[in-house]
Amino acid sequence: MASVGYSKKVMEHFLNPRNVGVIEHPDGYGKVGNPVCGDVMEIFISVKDDIITDIKFRTFGCGSAIATSSMVTELAKGKNVDEAMRITRGDVANELEGLPAQKMHCSNLAADALHEAIKDYRARKAKK
Amino acid sequence: MDQIYLDNAACTPVDLRVIAYAAPFSDGTIGNPSTLHSRGLGARAALEDAREKIKALLHAEDDKCIVFTSGATEANNLAIQGTALRNPKLGNHLVASAIEHISVLNPMKGLQKQGYTFDLIPVDAYGMVDLEALKKLVTKGTAVVSVMAANSEIGTIEPIREVSAIVHDAGAYLHVDATAAAGHIPVDVQRDGIDLCSVSSNDLTGPQGAGALYIKSGVKVQPVLVGGGQERGLRPGTENLFAIVGMGEAARLTQLEMVQEADRVRRIRDALITGMVSVKESYLTGHPALRLPNQASFRFSYIEGESIVLLMDQFGVQVSTGSACSSLTLEPSHVLLALGLKHEQVHGSMVLSLGKSNTPDQVPHVISAVTETVNRLRALSPLSNDRR
């Protein structure tokens, strides 16, 4: 039978999202999307010696928005910020064993949120 | 886990009595209604029997007023395109309520390419058409006005008799899409002053693949599909006899049992509404009183509807949403936007449509599933105020 709906991996992350929450004093913070189009994601990172030691997210959105957020936090945790900067939307979708075609664009913003958080971390670091 | 199905507006389980009744028409042993031999005559009789039953459902003046189609979408297309194009003398102006089904709105938009103009009647916060606005919109040049009997997404029942008086004062034809209403509340084309009325088989607990359009005696309509002479030439093509015969029987049974069944589901529905509005920052959408007995719709702040559908399914409850993220077009519900809701409010919608399988003892499970769903999604949401 043709494959329809979300992959098992997407559902697994949607139902058991990793790294949900807020970091009170993050070293970097990124937020993308807007409530009008239906997806808002925010990512908080703690960084030590350019390594992402902790990461949390909160997401308003559909199943794939939540699953991609969860997945990107797993991919980024423990990585060097330069490495994490190279995580793409495509990587996130691949790790989730694919996303429905119409979701690839609108609900796959998690990598963007991560990149924003890293840029914020770098900007804060430059100011110090 | 027992499944609790609350998405009957999307697909209604077919009544088993209807399947048994129509089964002999599914195996090819009954002929083509257009043929003259004995098998064909049997088919013809069954087709006309179904037509009588739809006539009775809508209280039509004559069985010749009923044209069978493949469903409500085709009936709506035939009503709008067929009537507008056949009656150019009426004018080239079309009007529809802002909450019509897409199969009403899109034919009207399509006719704009052929020189027609098209206006939407606004609705109030409950989804009631604005009768004063309608009075201003319909003019001498208006050909067809379309207002649904009731809306499937918000349940609101429209004041069709008042609409009819305004439309007929201006000399236009009134089309009523009764897909969501028929079988749940009385639809009477003569009492309500309806010129064209669409119904769907499946919404009456009949098989998918059949629908019907009532065309008032004297109203001239041209076909949308062209071919043979079936359905007085208005809907050519060999009839889907199984679905049509089933639709007829479903209409008969539904009408027979409507008062009792409406009363039964209304009690369950009211219990669901009472439980649901006790969830923090949840709101009923649609009219609080003038709504279909089997319909309840809500919105929840800070969360998104596709996530609601997916999580509710994990609790064994199937529901629907007007969120953009769950639609094929990625467009949010135009019905909920027409109520004046903001995009982010529309995203958090949940629609429940009840049917025969629902019982009062399901209510506590549904309420706890919704409470758990809302709490889990809000805990994830950056929009939720309590998190700050």
- Cβ-count burial of A36 within 10 angstroms (0-12 exposed, 13-18 middle, 19+ buried)? middle
Looking at residue B299, which CATH number applies to its domain? 3.90.1150.10
Q: Which residues of B touch A65 (CB under 8 A)?
A: 304, 325
Number of separate domains in chain B: 2
Torsion region of B110: left, alpha or beta (phi above 0 gives left; psi -120 to 50 gives alpha): alpha
Pick the closest to residue A37 from A116, A109, A118 (CA basis): A109
Indicate if B217 and B273 belong to the same structural domain: no
Residue A30 or B30, more confident: A30
Between CA B362 and CA A43 the distance in angstroms is 39
Indicate if B189 and B275 belong to the same structural domain: no
* pLDDT for B387: 44
- Residue ending a domain, among B199, B231, B253, is B253
Q: Which of the following is catalytic: B11, B65, B197, B325?
A: B325
Contact A107 B383 (CB under 8 A): no
Indicate if B146 and B267 belong to the same structural domain: no
Between CA A45 and CA B40 the distance in angstroms is 74
Q: Mind listing the pLDDT tens digit for each residue in B298-314?
A: 999 999 999 999 999 99
Nearest CA in chain A to B384: A60
Over B231-280, what HEC string results? Answer: HHHCCCCCCCHHHHHHHHHHHHHHHHHHHHHHHHHHHHHHHHHHHHCCCC
Pick from B304, B313, B333 the residue to mutate for testing the A interface (most A CBs within 10 Å): B304
* pLDDT for B66: 98
Looking at residue B178, which CATH number applies to its domain? 3.40.640.10
Q: Which residues of B touch A63 (CB under 8 A)?
A: 306-307, 310
DSSP per-residue letters across chain A: ----S--HHHHHHHHS-SSBS--SS-SEEEEEEETTTTEEEEEEEEEETTEEEEEEEEEES-HHHHHHHHHHHHHHTT-BHHHHHT--HHHHHHHTT---TTHHHHT--HHHHHHHHHHHHHHHHHH-
Check if A23 contacts B (Cβ < 8 Å). no
From chain B, which residues contact A within 8 Å (Cβ)?
302-304, 306-307, 310-311, 314, 323-326, 328, 330, 332, 342-344, 347, 379-383, 387
B11: annotated active-site residue: no
Which among A35, A62, A63 has CB closest to B383? A35
* pLDDT for B262: 98
Which among A14, A102, A107 has CB closest to B310? A14
Do the strands A39-48 and A28-34 form a parallel or antiparallel pair, or are they unpaired?
Answer: antiparallel
Q: Mind listing the pLDDT tens digit for each residue in B61-91?
A: 999 999 999 999 999 999 999 999 999 999 9
* pLDDT for B185: 98
* E strand or H helix at B30: none
The alpha carbon of residue B301 is apart from the nearest alpha carbon of chain A, in Å, by 11
Indicate if B146 and B208 belong to the same structural domain: yes
Indicate if B264 and B365 belong to the same structural domain: yes
The alpha carbon of residue A93 is apart from the nearest alpha carbon of chain B, in Å, by 17
Check if A117 contacts B (Cβ < 8 Å). no
User: What residues form DSSP beta bridges with A28?
Assistant: A45
Dig out the tokens for B216 from the structure: 């008032």
- Residue ending a domain, among B226, B253, B280, is B253
Interface A–B counts its CB contacts (< 8 A) at: 69
- Residue ending a domain, among B205, B226, B253, is B253
Between CA B138 and CA B329 the distance in angstroms is 31
Q: Mind listing the pLDDT tens digit for each residue in B237-282?
A: 999 999 999 999 999 999 999 999 999 999 999 999 999 999 999 9
Contact B380 A40 (CB under 8 A): no
Is the predicted ipTM greater than 0.90, yes or no? yes
Confidence of residue B290 (pLDDT cuts 50, 70, 90): very high
Average pLDDT over residues B139-158: 97
Residue B385 reports pLDDT greater than 70: no
Dig out the tokens for A78 from the structure: 């423990």
Residue B183 reports pLDDT greater than 60: yes
* pLDDT for B344: 87
Residues 6+ positions from B350 with CB-CB distance below 8 Å = B297, B298, B299, B300, B305, B308, B309, B312, B319, B320, B321, B370
Contact B343 A36 (CB under 8 A): yes
* pLDDT for A3: 62
Q: Mind listing the pLDDT tens digit for each residue in B352-367?
A: 999 999 999 999 999 9
Indicate if B214 and B107 belong to the same structural domain: yes
Contact A62 B304 (CB under 8 A): yes
The stretches in chain A having pLDDT less than 50 are 1
Nearest CA in chain A to B328: A102
Indicate if B241 and B317 belong to the same structural domain: no
Contact A107 B332 (CB under 8 A): no
With a pLDDT cut of 90, the percent of chain B lying above it is 90
Strands in chain B per DSSP E: 4-5, 66-69, 93-97, 117-121, 142-146, 173-177, 196-200, 211-215, 282-284, 295-300, 317-318, 349-353
* pLDDT for B2: 84
Residues spanned by the domain of B162: 16-253
Mean pLDDT of chain B: 95
Contact B382 A107 (CB under 8 A): no
Indicate if B279 and B233 belong to the same structural domain: no
Using CA atoms, how far residue B49 sits from B4, B55, B165, B251, B252, in Å, is 35, 10, 32, 12, 11
Indicate if B116 and B221 belong to the same structural domain: yes
Average pLDDT over residues B11-20: 97
Indicate if B173 and B129 belong to the same structural domain: yes
User: What residues form DSSP beta bridges with B150?
Assistant: B157
Indicate if B271 and B366 belong to the same structural domain: yes
Average pLDDT over residues B277-293: 96
Contact A35 B379 (CB under 8 A): no
Confidence of residue B54 (pLDDT cuts 50, 70, 90): very high
Check if A3 contacts B (Cβ < 8 Å). no
Q: Which residues of A touch B374 (CB under 8 A)?
A: none
Indicate if B347 and B372 belong to the same structural domain: yes
Residue A113 or B326, more confident: A113
